[in-house]
């Protein structure tokens, strides 16, 4: 059986994967924004392209550390990626707001907040990123000219607050679910380890019972045939008794074993050897 | 007396003990097949001590118990085991009703009781 990786390693792998997806969405999503806004006058092309290029660079950094991922690296890259997106959206939203026609404002920010809830490496990082998407919208709105503000649909830009609350709720739910699965995995791993230990101890006890019984009975035979060897046999008896008592202490592991069909007629030596092999891996 | 155990040394020592201390004959056999080969001589014994687990993928002491009873063995049958009380074979042996289960190590006092057809004072569940 392959031992479960330590909880920190699992967390780091999880954070690494989420951050990679976040960078991937930035790399792919920003050029799409450019295509959609091809008729928007003065849309700064450098912003989405730069954001996409930066995301690709961050993905390369993540790939370089794929063998030894860390929470700190994943968290840092996730925040940098979010900051890059926010900077790009800041500039593109100015052009979108000024463009003729109806604009449903800050769609990318709403999507970003929800995506963060699904991909953030941890609660604090996720909350910070969601706060960034919401805060940018409000700040951008307040810095737009009044004429552009009046063109916003009813309830905008305040719907971003609802998106922010929903994203936070989803993030909290997801983080709790991950924590629960991790606890369950730890309990399961401990249970498997205890079972393995219990089986090894009991196999050892069963394996030694017969030779001890042989020594014990052999001393009785010798004592009868050669009474003059009594003092020597007394020492053997005391030693055997100590081993019996040691064997008896292994009884506490009995209740921890769940017997399977394979255990009905086990070869103790094979079982001990197998368990010792597992233990040394 | 009949003693069934797959360990050669224990079997030989047990036979020596029974002969030396109790001055009785002991048939030591190592497998279910040897029991069948012993046939009538096995069935004429007064006490049969059977190891429960005779090794992987071979008939167990419980199979030998079944053979003895089926062929009219009227003596006392005692299972001797080094396994845990929760082991499936030990549980099965305890359910048989007319056989006792004694755990290894069995003491000389308990052995004396068994051979004298008394309930051993030290009879205890396998540990």
Query: How do residues A66-121 score in pLDDT, each as one tens digit?
Result: 888 888 999 999 999 999 999 999 999 888 888 787 788 898 999 999 999 999 99
Residues A97 and A208 grouped into a single domain: no
Asked if A247 and A212 count as a contact pair (C-beta separation under 8 A), the reply is yes
Q: Which of A210, A244, A259 lies closest to B7 in CB terms?
A: A210
Interface with chain B: mutation pick from A198, A200, A219, A220, highest number of B CBs within 10 Å: A220
* Best CA proximity match to B48, nearest among B34, B31, B28: B28
Find out whether the peptide bond into A157 is cis, omega within 30 degrees of 0. yes
Residues A119 and A198 grouped into a single domain: no
Residues A143 and A34 grouped into a single domain: yes
A-chain CB neighbours of B126 within 8 Å are none
> What part of B 10-29 touches A (C-beta under 8 Å)?
10, 13-14, 16-17, 20-21
Query: Domain residues for A122?
Result: 7-157
Q: Cβ of B104 and A210 within 8 Å?
A: yes
To the nearest whole Å, the CA of A248 is away from the closest chain B CA by 7
* Best CA proximity match to B61, nearest among A214, A244, A264: A264
CB-based contact, A220 to chain B, within 8 Å: yes
Give the chain A residue nearest B83 (alpha carbons): A206
Q: Which CATH class is domain B2-115?
A: alpha beta
Residues 6+ apart with CB under 8 A from A239: none
Q: How much is the pLDDT for A129?
A: 96
Q: How much is the pLDDT for A274?
A: 57
- Which one is predicted more confidently, B110 or A76? A76
Residues A149 and A217 grouped into a single domain: no
Residues A41 and A153 grouped into a single domain: yes
CB-based contact, B43 to chain A, within 8 Å: no
Model pLDDT for residues A134-149, shown as the tens digit of each residue: 999 999 999 988 888 8
Asked if A158 and A111 count as a contact pair (C-beta separation under 8 A), the reply is no
Spatial separation of the C-alpha atoms in residues B112 and A100, rounded to whole Å: 108
Residues A99 and A210 grouped into a single domain: no
pLDDT exceeding 90 applies to what percent of chain B?
32
B-chain CB neighbours of A244 within 8 Å are 105
pTM over 0.80: no
Residue A46 has pLDDT above 80, yes or no: yes
pLDDT exceeding 70 applies to what percent of chain A?
87
A108 assigned to some structural domain: yes
In terms of Cβ atoms closer than 10 Å to its own Cβ (0-12, 13-18, 19+), residue A182 is: middle
- Which one is predicted more confidently, A279 or B67? B67
Q: How much is the pLDDT for A192?
A: 84
What is the residue extent of each domain of chain B? 2-115
- Which one is predicted more confidently, A120 or A268? A120
Q: Cβ of B127 and A251 within 8 Å?
A: yes
Q: Cβ of A266 and B88 within 8 Å?
A: no
Split at pLDDT 50, 70, 90, the class of A6 is low
Place of tokens 């053979």: B67
Find out whether the peptide bond into B24 is cis, omega within 30 degrees of 0. no
CB-based contact, B125 to chain A, within 8 Å: no
Model pLDDT for residues B41-100, shown as the tens digit of each residue: 999 888 999 998 888 888 989 999 999 999 999 888 999 887 777 777 888 888 887 888
Averaged pLDDT, A225-231: 91
> What part of B 57-76 touches A (C-beta under 8 Å)?
57-58, 60
Which of A1-15, A187-201, A216-230, B103-117 has the lowest average pLDDT? A1-15
């Amino acid at each position: 059986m392959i031992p479960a990786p330590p909880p920190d390693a699992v967390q780091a792998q999880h954070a690494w994967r989420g951050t990679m997806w976040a960078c991937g969405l930035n790399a792919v999503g920003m050029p799409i924004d450019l295509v959609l806004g091809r008729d928007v006058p003065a849309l700064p092309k450098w912003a989405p392209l730069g954001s996409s290029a930066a995301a690709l660079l961050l993905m390369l950094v993540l790939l370089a550390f794929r063998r030894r991922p860390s929470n700190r690296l994943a968290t840092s890259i996730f925040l940098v990626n979010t900051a890059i997106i926010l900077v790009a959206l800041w500039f593109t939203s100015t052009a979108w707001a000024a463009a003729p026609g109806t604009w449903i404002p800050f769609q990318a920010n709403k999507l970003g907040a929800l995506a963060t809830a699904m991909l953030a490496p941890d609660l604090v990082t996720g909350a910070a990123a969601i706060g960034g998407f919401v805060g940018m919208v409000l700040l951008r709105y307040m810095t737009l000219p009044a004429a552009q503000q009046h063109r916003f649909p009813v309830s905008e830009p305040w719907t971003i607050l609802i998106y922010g609350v929903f994203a936070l709720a989803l993030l909290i739910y997801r983080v709790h679910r991950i924590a629960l699965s991790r606890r369950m995995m730890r309990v399961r791993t401990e249970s498997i380890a205890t079972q393995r230990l219990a089986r090894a101890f009991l196999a050892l006890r069963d394996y030694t019972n017969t030779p001890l019984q042989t020594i014990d009975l052999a001393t009785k035979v010798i004592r009868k045939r050669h009474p003059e060897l009594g003092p020597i046999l007394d020492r053997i008896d005391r030693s055997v008794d100590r081993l019996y008592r040691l064997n008896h202490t292994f009884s506490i592991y009995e209740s921890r074993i769940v017997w399977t069909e394979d255990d009905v007629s086990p070869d103790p030596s094979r079982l001990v050897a197998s368990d010792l092999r597992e233990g040394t891996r | 007396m009949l003693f069934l155990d797959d360990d050669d040394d224990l079997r030989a020592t047990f036979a020596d003990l029974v002969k030396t201390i109790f001055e009785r004959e002991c048939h030591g056999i190592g497998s279910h097949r040897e029991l069948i080969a012993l046939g009538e001589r096995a069935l004429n014994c007064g006490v049969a001590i059977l190891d429960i687990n005779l090794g992987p993928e071979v008939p167990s002491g419980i199979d030998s118990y079944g053979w003895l009873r089926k062929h009219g063995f009227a003596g006392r049958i005692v299972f001797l085991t080094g396994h845990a009380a929760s082991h499936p074979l030990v549980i099965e042996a305890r359910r048989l009703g007319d056989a006792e289960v004694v755990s290894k190590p069995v003491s000389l006092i308990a052995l004396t009781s068994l051979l004298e057809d008394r309930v051993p004072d030290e009879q205890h569940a396998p540990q």
